[in-house]
Amino acid sequence: MKFVDTVKRAGRNLREAKIRTLLTSLAIGVGAFTITLSLAAGSGGRSFVEELVSANTNPRAVYVQPKQDSSIPGAPGAGGVQEYSDAPSVSYGGGFQLTLMKEADIAAISNIKNVERVDPIYNLNAKYVTAEGQKKYQAGLSTYDESITLEYAAGTGDDLANNEIIVSEDYLKPLGFTDASSAIGKSIAVAVDNPLGVEKLFSFTIAAVSKKSDLAVSGSSDLTINGPASKTVYEYSEQGTPLEKAYMGATVITSSEDAVSAVQSTLKDQGYMADTAEDLMSTIFTFVNVLQGILLGFGALAILTSIFGIINTQYISVLERTSQIGLMKALGMRNRDIGRLFRYEAAWIGFLGGAIGAGFAVVLGMVANPYITDALDLGKTQLLEFHVWQAASVIIGLMVVAVLAGIFPSRKASKLDPIEALRTE
């Protein structure tokens, strides 16, 4: 028999046992449904993480810290009595000591090939913020990072001058502004204490008003100033302490994305801890992959169960059609054609189960996506991201599994003796 004729004949045979075929297909469909949803959740999760990375990090950035290992006094894992080191550091409870980065480190890193610039990470602490005629309010102060995407209610943070500041929209009414536009160009004062408790007011002009971004890992800082202004504030607040001209770390901006790997390798060779944006987000990727793996495991378990259903269905079909098989052989159909006919029937069952399960998963996912997005506050991101090639792969894969499951019944059918088969009632 020709291929097309065999496929058609296999389909007609299954239609003669509609209920049995449907029930077996639905068993496969459960696995197809679970696998399709897990693939969609994995794709959506990875896309969301990639959006987070692009919105909150610079692909050309490498985040650097002094290496904290057992060779450093007070570091975790350092056993016994350690030699004193005059390297700047911060001590925490339990004897833990965090070694800081010095100006010499900044200069050395700046000389590495393909390094465009090095931005120290300033640990800024504002005492309060106020405006003329207004009360004093607590506020967080941070350095402007061009790699983090900010959304603005008014103004812009591009080319932020040393005397300019970005204010969160939460501070508009407390500081006496009616709306975001009216705050642009107005002055506010940020108070900072030095180690002796002497307060100093730093005056800034509002250049922009920021609002919450859906893709921000953490909400935008209350107050944001540029690098040079951050350095001035930091030096005043830490003068005379071990933190003066010492930093928790630095952000290294490379000349291109292609140079990131080489710069990271060089920094590690020189004894620094160096992480890229992808490294910092790797835990999230791992979580997504593990979650997807668990869901795929449930789908595989459902398919494994359905394999026995296919074998049972096909085996019963062989028993019910024994005399028909004998007649086909008597009319000249070869053993391999008989076996192929039953394998195609199994393939049809796999196709129907895969199509039902994958189709239902796509429809349910499209309906549920808006509700999931609202519940998880994902902004415009859809958690379930469907791709045609994934659904097609699931269906084709299940057809292959079904064919493999149908090998035993098909072999039994092909080996039936035609004389004995014709005698069967």
DSSP structural state of residue 387: -
State residue 95's pLDDT score: 53
Instruction: List Cβ neighbours of 344 (8 Å cut-off, separation of 6 or more).
Output: 6, 7, 10
Two tokens, residue 285 = 């990727």
Q: How far is CA 59 from CA 64, 257, 260, 413, in A?
A: 14, 6, 8, 61
So where are the chain's domains?
3-54+283-423, 61-277
Three-state SS at 142: strand
**Amino acid identity of 103?**
E
| Contact (Cβ atoms closer than 8 angstroms) between residue 143 and residue 221 | no
Three-state SS at 215: coil
Q: Residue with structure tokens 């997005």?
A: 373
Pairing mode, if any, of strands 164-168 and 199-211? parallel
State residue 97's pLDDT score: 65
Q: Residue with structure tokens 């709306």?
A: 179
| Contact (Cβ atoms closer than 8 angstroms) between residue 78 and residue 72 | yes
| Contact (Cβ atoms closer than 8 angstroms) between residue 180 and residue 168 | no
Q: How would you label 103-112 residue by residue, b for 16+ Cβ within 10 Å and e otherwise?
A: eebbeebeeb
pLDDT in tens, the chain (425 residues): 577 776 777 777 677 777 878 888 888 888 889 888 888 888 888 787 777 766 667 788 888 988 765 444 444 444 445 555 566 665 544 555 677 888 889 999 999 999 998 989 888 889 999 999 899 999 989 998 876 767 889 998 888 999 999 999 999 999 999 999 999 999 999 999 998 889 999 999 999 998 876 555 544 468 999 999 999 999 999 888 877 888 888 989 899 888 989 999 999 999 888 888 777 667 677 777 787 788 788 878 878 877 887 787 777 777 666 676 677 767 677 777 777 887 888 888 889 988 999 999 999 988 988 888 787 766 677 788 888 998 899 899 988 888 888 787 777 777 776 666 566 65
Q: Is 90 exposed, middle or buried (0-12, 13-18, 19+ CB in 10 A)?
A: middle
HSE (side-chain half, CA atoms, 13 Å) at 377: 6
